[in-house]
Every structure is written in C-alpha cells, then in structure tokens.
Copies of this chain bind each other. A is one copy, B any other.
Amino acid sequence: MDVKAAMAEAAEAVAETMDRLLALPDGPEARVVEAMRYSALGGGKRLRAFLVLQSAALFSVSRSCALRVAAAVEFLHAYSLIHDDLPAMDDSDLRRGRPSCHKAFDEATAVLAGDALLTYAFEVLAQEETHSDPRVRAELVLALARASGTQGMVGGQMLDLLAEDMDSIDASLITRLQRMKTAELLCFSCEAGAILGKAGKAARHALHSYGQEMGLAFQIADDLLDIEGDSSVTGKPTGLDDAAGKATLVAALGVENARAHALMLVDQSARHLDFFDDKAKLLKQVARFVVERQA
C-alpha cells in the first residue's frame, strides 16, 4: 500500500472513531458539541492520527486502542486550530476552505468548543477502553500535556505572537518556536505507539527524534506552500504569513535554503527509523510525503 492510500484509510478510520466519541447530548448545551464536531470532523490530512496508528503498529498494539489515542490527538489538534483562529490570536475567518469555528458559530462558543476538545482529549486517554494498564493511560496523559503546555504548543503560540513585534528573529529562535508549536505534538503522536506498546527507551527515543525532525520539515513545507502553493489546492490564500510578518524559516533562510534544509531533515528523521528495519517503511515514506505534498 502506498503512503497516500494508507493515510486516506487511516483518516477515514479515525474520523469514524471521533464521530462515535463525540455524540450529541440532550439539552441546549449540545450547541458546544455541535461546534466541536464542526471543527474536529471537518476534514484534514489526519497526519497526527496516521503517526499514532503507524507507530502503534510497530509494537502490535490493538487497533481499537490506537484509534482512541489517534482520536485524542486529533481532538487536541482541533482545539489548537479553533483557538489560534480567534480574532485575538491569528484572526482567521477561514479554515480548510470553510468558515472558522467562531465564524460558523460565535466567539464564545468557539472558546468553549476549544476548551472542551482539549479537556476531552485527556478524558479519552484516561478511559479504561484506551488501555487496560492504568500506567499506560497516566503516561499518555502526561506526555500529551507536556506536548501541549507552556513548553509545547501553548508556549510556541505565545512565542509566535510575540515574534510579530520583534525587530529581528534569528533562525535558532524560529526553530525553537516551531519545535514547540508544531513538532512536539507530532513527537507525541510518534511516541504514543511506543507508550501503548510499553516499548523500551531506545525505541521511544528513536520515534521521538524522528517526530522532531519530521515535524520541523513539515513546518518548513507548510511555510513554502504558503508562499508558492496553489490556493485552489491548499484551500487558503497564499502569502498570508508574509503579510502578517510571521517568523518562518523560509523568511529567515530564503526559499532555496529552507527547501534544502527541509530535505536534509527528512533524511535525518528517516535514519532514526533504521532501528525498526523494514517495519517502519510507511513512516519513512510519510516524512518524504510531508515535504512533497501540494496541500
């Protein structure tokens, strides 16, 4: 199976799991769940879910456990997009070619839908159905919280907002920012399989390193698409980051150097997977896919 077909299959399976987990309650408060469903089930590549499923497969983890963790990561990712799009943050009216959550609903509902998706990600991880061993469940919660907190996604978004007002920002600060904002959650997705499979330190470390370098490459590819992408394929207008003075490696290094850096990161990331021999073939392919994709 090639990587695109495998990703499409994973995306469908995780969307089904998410749909099942996000049942609408009775009562007027169902509105917040409608907003959660609107954002979480509104498409996307489901790269994070794919990484969870692929890393779990390395350790023969049951598919149903892996799908629940994949759904939790996608809930967390959806929360971050809803809050990032808010007027006080990046002020984006569009997400994946549709009105963003606060446009489709309203700002208060969007804040609450994000809060609830973040909360629900931890709830799903802590539920017994996710793994019979409570130590594994507690470890998943801990690792996801670290990837999302002030030293992970939230810290990265804070840096990103502050960078807009900085006169100059060097490549090392940008790398740190993107590691926190994007790569940490991709690292968690890769490590999750090792946690679920109670793998040893070496395996977990290899997956973490893979996730980190692949994550940085992913972000550069995103920034290149922002400049060069076809907006009819990416679903968003191009040149936005540039206009907003965003701190990207493409701006700091230039298009050609940034592209070369991304390709180097992909090679580097793939080498960490040699640890798993042929079993990690699809994971190696996905690293290349993230820099070659058109959307």
Contact = CB atoms under 8 A, between A and B. Distances in A.
Nearest to A133: B134
Given A31-B158, A141-B141, A145-B119, A111 B111 contact: yes
A79 to B, nearest CB: 8
A17 to B, nearest CB: 18
A149 interface: yes
Contact of A115 (B118, B133, B180): B118
A155 B120 CA distance: 12
A162 interface: yes
Question: Number of copies of this chain in the oligomer?
Answer: 2
Interface string A190-231: 000000000000000000000000000000000000000000
A137 interface: yes
B28 A116 contact: no
Contact of A158 (B109, B119, B138, B151): B109
Interface in A98-123: 106-112, 114-116, 118-120, 122-123
Contacts of A134: 133-135, 137-139
Contacts of A158: 28-29, 31-32, 109, 112
A104 B255 CA distance: 39
Interface in A140-193: 141-142, 145-146, 148-151, 154-159, 161-162, 176, 180
B127 A106 contact: no
A68 interface: no
A33 interface: yes
A116 B154 contact: yes
A149 B120 contact: yes
Interface of A: 25, 27-29, 31-33, 36, 79, 83, 86, 88-89, 106-112, 114-116, 118-120, 122-123, 125-127, 133-135, 137-139, 141-142, 145-146, 148-151, 154-159, 161-162, 176, 180
